[in-house]
Amino acid sequence: MREVLQSQMRFGEIAISDIEFDVRSRDEIPKLLIGLQAIYCDIAIRTQIFAALTDLVPTKINPNDGRRGMDLWKILVLGTLRLSCNWDYDKLMEIANNHLTLRLMLGHSIMNNDFRYALQTLKDNVSLFTPEILDKINMIAVKYGHKIVGMKPDAKLNASCDSFVLETDVHYPTDINLLWDAMRKIILSVVFLCVQAGLPGWRKSDYLLKKTKKLFRKAQLTKRSTSKNKQKKGKREQLIIAAHLTYLDLAEDVINKVEETILEALSSADIIVQLKIRQIQGYIAHAERQIDQIRRRVVEGESIAHHKKVFSIFEEHTEWISKGKAGVSQELGLRVCIVKDQFGFILHHRVMQNETDDKIAVPIIQETKERFVELGSCSFDKGFHSPENQEKLRELLDQVVLPRKGKLSAINREIENSEEFREARRKHSAVESSINALENHGLDRCRDHGIKGFDRYVGLAILARNIQIIGHVLQQKRLKQLQRLETMQKRPLKQAA
């Protein structure tokens, strides 16, 4: 059974509303926890958040049956904390088991101080979040944040839109090291398959792994000659081709042997065996593609088209992105586009797969407008420009601050030289500050796997950042109150002196 939060307090437990924080702390943990405390203490917002959290429980499962699972409130606290502090699950487990204030927020009393979170428990529960649930919670949190900062009901939101690259957790890809990745997984997986299915063979798997890696290293370290002597260059080219062909021949021999083993295991009714066979077949497909591309590139001298390349066999959604930044020739990951308002809250975001800025300018504003009807204006950079975008955005917004590319007509020059346009352009740079904050709080490199994990990772980071902003605003208000109180207490002493 699962509950959003256990309603009955235990002996020694402190109510979330009574938890005290150091308002002078500059660390991100108190800011996030203050934001979560504020959300919990506002009954109307808490009811909406709790209703959204109940969607974490699958519809086919009765939440009142079975053993007790982790409370949904705890999942929210731990999930946002992990992204806010840019931790892996090992660090999260350590802090969740030993950080006193966090444990009070999680509902642990001094009487059950011996309770410990397991690593796999944290992974399984935080992974229950979906982008849709996170988007719903984020919308509730942002609207509450607008109330906290004192936004008037009839006020308009002035937004800024920009994109950045979130890197996936992959190594630099070459065709030969991607083939090594595939061969390594094939050999290790087929050994597991033989043990599970009770098949003989593959006693020399360790030897095969070492031999494959040795040939991979030889191909990797064999470099082209820089000599001007054509004979020497030709001789070195033959050595490179020979090293690659030896590597490919061994890979093909291993794949043939693996396919024979798979045929023997197909008759097994074990579900684990069948799943492992599908996994191995996927790695074989990767290996065969890389073998073909290496042969075409090295032996036949063909250039492989960019769209036919894969940059990771584990994170297949990874894209090779060159944004022309100084000192950064390329980034391996996916673009993420965000829409930020004048208070610093991230209103909406979009993970861009095989999309460019000019293709998503209108869709992301449409989606943001559906969530926040008070959106009045938005600024962009030149990458989002197209004549169609200019027209469609004018229909959606009161003011569109989108600089045009190329030479400007007299009318467009007058528009872009207007004081209102130029003022909005000056404020647009604030979105870079939000992007930098997101990169410092989780969105520098995605630690989760697969495109679903990528979407969840981004959604949690956006939500954590917005809750942290709420906590920061409240912390500053409390700090000013404390400073005023301290000043008032000092005045009688000065007068007496």
Both tokens assigned to 153: 């009901």
| Predicted structure pTM score | 0.90
Both tokens assigned to 112: 């059950």
401: closest CA among 436, 372, 430? 430
Return the sign of the alpha-carbon dihedral for residues 437, 140, 80, 132.
negative
Angle between helices 430-440 and 419-428 (to 10 degrees): 10
At 154, phi and psi to the nearest 5?
-95, 5
Both tokens assigned to 320: 């090779």
Q: Could you give the domains of the chain?
A: 16-147+452-487 (no CATH), 155-169+317-450 (3.30.420), 175-308 (1.20.120)
pLDDT tens, the chain, 497 aa long? 467 776 666 666 788 888 899 989 999 999 999 999 999 999 999 999 999 998 888 777 776 676 677 888 999 999 999 999 999 999 999 999 999 899 989 888 777 778 899 999 999 999 999 999 999 999 999 999 999 998 888 889 999 999 999 999 999 999 999 999 999 999 999 999 988 888 887 888 999 999 999 999 999 998 877 777 888 888 888 899 999 999 999 999 999 999 999 988 888 778 888 999 999 999 999 999 999 999 999 988 888 888 889 999 999 999 999 877 766 778 999 999 999 999 999 999 999 999 999 999 999 999 999 999 999 999 999 889 998 998 999 999 988 888 888 888 888 888 888 888 888 888 888 899 999 999 999 899 999 999 999 999 999 999 999 999 999 999 999 999 888 888 888 776 555 55
pLDDT for the residue 12: 66
Confirm if 323 and 165 have CB atoms less than 8 A apart.
Answer: yes
Per the DSSP assignment, residues forming a β-bridge with 312 are: none
Per the DSSP assignment, residues forming a β-bridge with 320 are: 332
**Distance from C-alpha of 78 to C-alpha of 99, rounded to nearest angstrom:** 12
